[in-house]
Structure 1
Amino acid sequence: MGRIFEVRKSTMFARWDRMAKQFTRIGKDIAIAVKAAGPDPENNPALRRCIVNAKAVNMPKDRVEAAIKRAMGKDKTDYEEVVYEGYAPHGIAIMVDTATDNTTRTVANVRTHFNKCGGSLGNSGSVAFMFNRVGEFKVKNAGQDLEELELELIDAGLEEIGEDSEGNIIIRAAFTEFGNMSKALEDKGLEVISSELKRIPANVVELSEEQAKEVLELVDRLEQDDDVQAVFHNLK
């Protein structure tokens, strides 16, 4: 009985830790969005995206509002978005999106993660050409006809449309069309569950289970870093 309790407690703490990291990352996204275009979601598509994503991870409304107020205050933290590129073991390309108030700390930490896992931090542009930056929207499937929806969204920059394993509609648009697609989905009254800017690899690399484990160890270390917002790779 004691062992079962320990396992459940460990799982619960891991879930809380993951939720805390999600809240922190969304808080940084809110700060960046408010700094760029103000605190009014009606006039700030990036902030609207943050609020939608906060809802998707069950971030309390009062925490979202507090993050917006903090971003407007005198003691606000100014975050800089910095992208790092490199290689994991076995030649797997890695891109790391960060939001930091101390780039010296962040680059040192990111380099340490790469080095400890047998990878190497590269220069800007060293692997970016292997990825396409897109806006990805997860939309609630309310029985829409995907073919009809595809035709309706082409003018908003649609590149791909499909369904995920849970039956939600996944829509991808070019990075430069993110705002247009967001508005088009709003205008159609579609329920957007989450929206993200992603880096999709043009080609993927298949490794053995043991080799993939080494790569994923680096990915996990990077994702646990407080300054890291997202990690992308071309491992199949």
Structure 2
Amino acid sequence: MSGHSKWHNIQGRKNAQDAKRGKIFQKLAHDLYVAAKAGGADPEMNASLRLVVEKAKSANMPKDNIQRALDKASGAGGQKFEEITYEGYGTAGVAVLVETSTDNINRTVSSVRNSFKHYGGTLGTSGSVAFQFDRKGYLAIDRSAFPELDEDTVLEAALDAEAEDVQTQDEVFEIYTEPSKFQSVEEILTKAGYIFDEAEITMIAQNTMTINDDDREKLDKLIDELEENEDVLAVYTTAD
């Protein structure tokens, strides 16, 4: 793994979203959907999902919103959704991945393409930028909540659970796994008493790029517009 910290990007996006209650719920709905798709829609049988459900309840997310995300993942109600990832470039050549779940592909691709156009970006073809990202399981332990933990202890526990890598930042221990091992690593560490501030399967940029403030503003607006689309599950970029 590179020295890039996903935690910094998570915190940056959270700070921008805190003033937008709807966006908090959207992020939770995404996490509920992904966790349920990966390990089943029963929180009692899916530790990752149980964690997200607890977060959703703590954020006062309405029960109907929680259930809607779970139904979407499980196919309850007869609706059929396809998961499609769109690839493109934002300002300054930043690579952008857009994960969607849709019951109307034409509607979704048109909306995503228009969002790219609005902010000087272009929607690319399949495979045009995906090679710049790796899919990984990601677990974060807030160090301020567990001051007694040290790097060696976390590293040993994570590697024993078959995690792939551990990175120590000032604020957090970041644990990375292969996607196929994410749930088992999380369950082993949870049983050992570890509590995670973030736990998800995500896309990690292999290399990040620094952009100027004007390009950053356009990119942020592009991300905001994409994330406001109900079909969009997540947006990933190579911007630092």
Q: What is the TM-score when the length of structure 2 is the normalising length?
A: 0.76
| Residue correspondence of structure 1 range 1-236 to structure 2 within 5 A | 18-27=20-29, 29-30=31-32, 34=36, 38-55=40-57, 58-60=59-61, 62-63=63-64, 66-67=67-68, 70=71, 75=77, 77-141=79-143, 142=146, 143-155=148-160, 156-163=162-169, 167-236=171-240
For 1:86 and 1:158, how far apart are their aligned partners in 2?
Answer: 29
Alignment check: 8 A CA contact 2:56 2:66 kept = no
SS state at 2:126 partner? coil
- Find the aligned partners of 1:73 and 1:96 in 2 and give their Cα distance: 21
| Structure-1 residue corresponding to 2:12 | none
Root-mean-square deviation over aligned CA pairs: 3.0
- Seen in structure 2, the aligned counterparts of structure 1 residues 59 and 182 have a Cα distance that, compared at 3 Å, is farther
Give distance in 2, aligned partners of 1:226 and 1:15. Answer: 19
Q: Distance in 2 between matches of 1:179 and 1:148?
A: 20
**Residue type at the aligned position of 1:163:** Q
Aligned equivalent of 1:8: none
Residue 128 of structure 1: CA displacement? 0.8
The answer for unaligned runs of 5 or more in structure 1 is: 1-13
Question: Structure 1 30/209 Cα, relative in aligned 2: closer, same or farther at 3 Å?
Answer: closer
The residue identity in structure 2 corresponding to 1:154 is: L
Deviations for 1:59-80, whole angstroms, at most 9, x for unmatched residues?
Answer: 4484576447856796364433
SS in 2 for 1:75: helix
Q: Name the CA distance, whole Å, in 2 between partners of 1:224 and 1:151.
A: 40
1:157-213 Cα distance to aligned partner (Å, 9 max, x none): 23133235xx34332222232112211221211112221222121112222222332
Choose 32-41 or 206-215, whichever is displaced more. 32-41
Query: Structure 2 unaligned runs (5+)?
Result: 1-16
The DSSP-based 3-state class of the residue aligned with 2:165 is: strand
Q: Deviation per CA, 1:129-171: give whole Å up to 9, x if none.
A: 111211221224312122121022114223133235xx34332
- Measured in 2, the distance between the counterparts of 1:182 and 1:96 equals 26
Partner of 2:224: helix, strand, or coil? Answer: helix
Q: CA deviation at 1:81?
A: 2.2
C-alpha distance in 2 between matches for 1:31 and 1:136: 16
Instruction: State the partner residue of 1:10.
Output: none
In 1, the alpha carbon distance for the partners of 2:173 and 2:179 equals 18
User: Shift of residue 53 of structure 1?
Assistant: 4.4
How far did residue 22 of structure 1 move?
A: 3.1
Tell me how far 1:23 sits from its aligned partner.
2.3
Q: Structure 1 residue 103: deviation in Å? A: 1.9
| Residue identity (%) | 30
